[in-house]
Structure 1
Amino acid sequence: MDTNIPVTSQPRIVIVGCGFGGLRLAKDLADAPVQVVIIDRNNYHNFQPLLYQVATGALEADSIAYPIRKIFAGQENLFYRMADVQRVDTAHNTLETNIGSIRYDHLVLATGSLTNFFGIESIEKNAMQIKSVPNALNLRSYLFQNFETAILTEDPAERQALLNVVIVGGGPTGVEIAGSLAEMRNDVLPKDYPELDLQQMQIFIVEADGEVLGPMSKEAQVKSRAYLEDLGVQLRLSRKVQRYEEGKAYISDTEFIPTRCLIWAAGVNGSALEGLAPEVVTRNRRISVNHWNRVEGRKNVYAIGDVANMVSDDMPRGYPMLAPVAIQQAEQLARNFKRLLRGDAPLDFKYTNKGSMAIVGRNRAVVDLPGNHTFGGFFGWLTWLFVHLMTLVGFRNKAVTLISWAISYFSTDKALRLIIRPYKRSDFKDDKGKARAEHNAQTPQYTPSVPTPSAPVVGG
């Protein structure tokens, strides 16, 4: 037990996950008389808001990832173990992991979120997602493999499907990746692929709501929609992708968009651990917590960030699954741990909304600030760049990202169009029975599909 973690008389706080919440909590406990143990299946913290730039070749993966051990170098009360947590045993205060059992005095679940496919098996099986660094690298390879295959394809219908990209979800992730792909199509790809008519490449956003960027202000929605349309992105609003099979994204029973690349950015679920009482896990796999982030019915188990479902009068459906919420909950929980050690009562969490933003492309972004202040364009773009640059972990990552952005801005180029590890989708089940995508060193083979008369083609 405890995988060589030193025995101590101090309380042991085990944090599962080193995302925004877990990272902030561990740092804020550096001066507390506790032993902090971080468990994460990866040995790095990754900056998820910039994953789409890795997927589209604007940044390399190591620009947005930073080693966990390097982040906490010098923090004497912290220990890190690379492990996959399988379940929690609240009766015995232990975690079961693939490297053994780990005891805790206090447990903090900062496990983040997983892609929610809403039970649509054909999409879960065939769509690309962008929730992790491997996802982003797979998507980058897959996009450029499709272009290479399109050059060799004689069937016009199949070539069109290889060139088309359908993005499901008009939130920040969907909008940002659509804008980035549109700029790449307009400025970069024609130089790389003169054999292809890149004007035929069509980029779609399919959004179930009536506007993109639903949580943002009406002004931001209108601006972002205008930016997308100016870049040539086609919007299918108040529509849903019902299934995705044989290179067709069906938006009704008979109407489809031909595409060999469907990117799913339409929803997320919490990543609750096995072993928790069923009554504390909500339908979307978030964990019900009180205003101290304590899991309902447990005295020493907490959850923060995307996985925590904290309901308030202002947020009857729970706080949004955003990085600022996770960071602020982590900061408050660290303060409460210190209060508990002094014998003081914990304080309730109060969220401070600092605004939201989304980037659509070069000199195109929208920013909502508290007090109904909205702006966009060049100054919105600068604000987005500054906030994200300052939030990156590590001086090197900040410097490399800034230089990469500067080169891309002045040259309108994205240099990282590399197929380092060719991607092929192979169906298999992981140990939790969920479909996943596997990559290997084989080039994907496609079976040409020709639209049938009974199925109208959208944008084909």
Structure 2
Amino acid sequence: MDTNLPKSSHPRLVIIGCGFAGLRLAKALKHDPVQVVVIDRNNYHNFQPLLYQVATGALEADSIAYPIRKIFAGQKNFFYRMADVQRVDTAANTVHTNIGDIHYDYLVLATGSLTNFFGIESIEKNAMQIKSIPNALNLRSYIFQNFEKALLTEDPVQRQALMNIVVVGGGPTGVEISGSLAEMRKHVLPKDYPELDLQQMQIYIVEAGAELLGPMSPQSQRDAFEYLKELGVNIRLNTSIKRYEDCKAYYSETEFIPTENLIWAAGVNGAAVPGLPDAVVARNKRITVNRWNQVEGFTNVFAIGDVANMVTEDMPKGLPMLAPVAIQQADHLAENFRRLAKGQTPVDFKYHNKGVMAIVARNKAVVDLPKGHFRGFLGWLTWLFVHLMTLVGFRNKVVALTDWAFSYFSSDQALRLIIRPFSRRDVKDDKGKKTAEHQASTPQYNPTPPAIQTPAA
């Protein structure tokens, strides 16, 4: 029991997950009379908003990751265990993991989110995703491997499928990676593959809704659309990918886009932990909490960040799954723990929207603030500054800034490395389990790309 954790006279608070929420909460409790135990399957904190830059070679993986033990070096009330959580036993106040059982007095679920494939099995088995550093590295290797294959094939149909890239999902991740790929096509790939006619390479962004960047303002939606259009990205609105098999991304029963590179960025579910009652797990796998981030029906179990489903009058579908929400909830819960320790009543959480932003390409970004909107170079600088300041670790900040400066002034990306060759038979889901082997075949090809669509008024 307790995997060699020391006994303490203070209550033990176990945090599952060291993303934005778990990291912030553990740091906020540094000087409190509580034993903080963090459980995570990775020994590093991953800065997810920049994963797409790892996937496209703009940043190296170690510039957006930081060792958990190094982050908390010197925090005497902190303990970390690298483990996979199997389930929680709320009756026994125990977390069951692959390394043993850990007892808790308070439990905080900060497990984040998983990719939502909406039950489409062919996409879950065959599409690429960007939810982790291994995902991003696999995607980077896979794209460049396919260009190497395109050089070797004499079949123009197969070559086209190897070069085409389809991004599914018009949210910030989809928009950002589409713009990054378009810049790569313009500035990077012609240097590496002069033998290929890169004008044939098609980049598609497919969105089921009527606009890109659905949660953002209409101005940002229109600006993002125009930016991607200028970059030559094929935009398909009001379109859903029904299935993906044999190198064909079907958007109807018979119509498809030929591609070996389908990137799924269309949605996420909460990463609910097994063992909780079904009644507290919503349809999107988020855990229902009250205004104290307390899981319904429990006094010592809490959830924060993406996995927490906090419904308010302003947001009947729950607070957005964004890093600022996770950080604010962590700070608020730390303060409520102090109030509980003093026998005081916790206070309700109120989300303060400080703004949202998305970058499309160099000098092209959109920023929505509570009292205004701006775009272009100023938006791009704002995005760079906010993300640079949010990165964990001084070294990571310096490395990211250096890489960005190099890319900006040279119009190049130095990290075009296939360090570990990747095959679809190696695809693993968010839980680390292998999925079925991808079955590829030569697709048919319609050389006329779908037309760019105008967003809804």
TM-score of Structure 1 vs Structure 2, range by shorter chain:
over 0.9
- For 2:342, give the aligned amino acid: R
1:409 paired residue number? 408
- For 1:73, give the aligned amino acid: A
- Structure-1 separation of matches of 2:436 and 2:324: 30
- Structure-1 separation of matches of 2:63 and 2:126: 28
Change (3 A) 1:33 1:331: same
1:42 paired residue number? 42
Q: In structure 1, the residue corresponding to 2:424 is in which secondary structure?
A: coil
Q: In structure 2, the residue corresponding to 1:184 is in which secondary structure?
A: helix
- Structure-1 separation of matches of 2:192 and 2:417: 12
1:33 paired residue number? 33
- Structure-2 separation of matches of 1:407 and 1:428: 32
Contact 2:249–2:259 (8 Å) recurs in 1: yes
Check if 1:397 corresponds to 2:391. no
TM-score of the aligned structures, taking structure 1 as reference length: 0.95
- For 1:339, give the aligned amino acid: R
- For 2:159, give the aligned amino acid: R
Change (3 A) 1:308 1:215: same
Change (3 A) 1:415 1:456: closer
Q: Deviation at 1:446?
A: 5.2
Contact 2:95–2:102 (8 Å) recurs in 1: yes
Contact 2:249–2:262 (8 Å) recurs in 1: yes
Check if 1:91 corresponds to 2:85. no
Q: Deviation at 1:343?
A: 1.1
- For 1:301, give the aligned amino acid: V
Over the aligned positions, Cα root-mean-square deviation in angstroms equals: 1.8
- Structure-1 separation of matches of 2:126 and 2:13: 40
- Residues 177-196 of structure 1, C-alpha deviations (whole Å, 9 max, x = no match): 00000000001100100110
- Structure-1 separation of matches of 2:132 and 2:275: 25
Q: Deviation at 1:315?
A: 1.1
- Structure-1 separation of matches of 2:234 and 2:39: 42
TM-score of the aligned structures, taking structure 2 as reference length: 0.96
- For 2:123, give the aligned amino acid: I
Contact 1:29–1:334 (8 Å) recurs in 2: yes
- Structure-1 separation of matches of 2:195 and 2:440: 20
Check if 1:387 corresponds to 2:386. yes
Q: Deviation at 1:450?
A: 2.8
Check if 1:226 corresponds to 2:220. no
- Residues 133-186 of structure 1, C-alpha deviations (whole Å, 9 max, x = no match): 000000000000000000011111110000000000000000000000000000
- Structure-2 separation of matches of 1:77 and 1:182: 47
Q: Deviation at 1:447?
A: 3.3
- Number of matched pairs: 451
Q: Deviation at 1:433?
A: 10
- Structure-1 separation of matches of 2:222 and 2:430: 44
Contact 2:247–2:441 (8 Å) recurs in 1: no
- For 1:20, give the aligned amino acid: F
- Structure-1 separation of matches of 2:382 and 2:396: 18
- Residues 385-418 of structure 1, C-alpha deviations (whole Å, 9 max, x = no match): 0000000000000000000000000000000000
Q: In structure 2, the residue corresponding to 1:294 is in which secondary structure?
A: coil
- Structure-2 separation of matches of 1:4 and 1:30: 21
- Structure-2 separation of matches of 1:380 and 1:109: 34
Check if 1:339 corresponds to 2:339. yes
State how 1:47-446 maps to structure 2 within 5 Å.
47-371=47-371, 373-426=372-425, 436=435
Q: Deviation at 1:254?
A: 1.2
- Structure-2 separation of matches of 1:410 and 1:125: 39
Contact 1:13–1:107 (8 Å) recurs in 2: yes
Unmatched runs of 5 consecutive residues or more in structure 2: 452-457
Q: Deviation at 1:449?
A: 2.5
- Structure-1 separation of matches of 2:432 and 2:400: 37
Check if 1:448 corresponds to 2:447. no
Q: Give structure 1 regions of 4+ aligned residues with deviation exceeding 6 angstroms.
A: 427-434
Q: In structure 2, the residue corresponding to 1:178 is in which secondary structure?
A: helix
Contact 2:245–2:439 (8 Å) recurs in 1: no
Change (3 A) 1:432 1:18: closer
Q: Deviation at 1:9?
A: 1.2
- For 2:441, give the aligned amino acid: T
User: Percent identical across equivalent pairs?
Assistant: 73
Contact 1:155–1:448 (8 Å) recurs in 2: no
- Residues 6-36 of structure 1, C-alpha deviations (whole Å, 9 max, x = no match): 0011000000000000000000000100000
- For 1:185, give the aligned amino acid: R
Q: Deviation at 1:426?
A: 1.4
- For 1:113, give the aligned amino acid: S
Contact 1:179–1:361 (8 Å) recurs in 2: yes
2:454 paired residue number? none
- For 2:143, give the aligned amino acid: L
Unmatched runs of 5 consecutive residues or more in structure 1: 439-443
Change (3 A) 1:29 1:117: same
Q: In structure 1, the residue corresponding to 2:96 is in which secondary structure?
A: strand
Contact 1:256–1:457 (8 Å) recurs in 2: no
Change (3 A) 1:433 1:282: farther
Q: Deviation at 1:253?
A: 1.0
- Structure-2 separation of matches of 1:446 and 1:147: 16
1:441 paired residue number? none
- Residues 191-211 of structure 1, C-alpha deviations (whole Å, 9 max, x = no match): 100110011111000001111
Q: Deviation at 1:425?
A: 1.2
State how 1:5-20 maps to structure 2 within 5 Å.
5-20=5-20
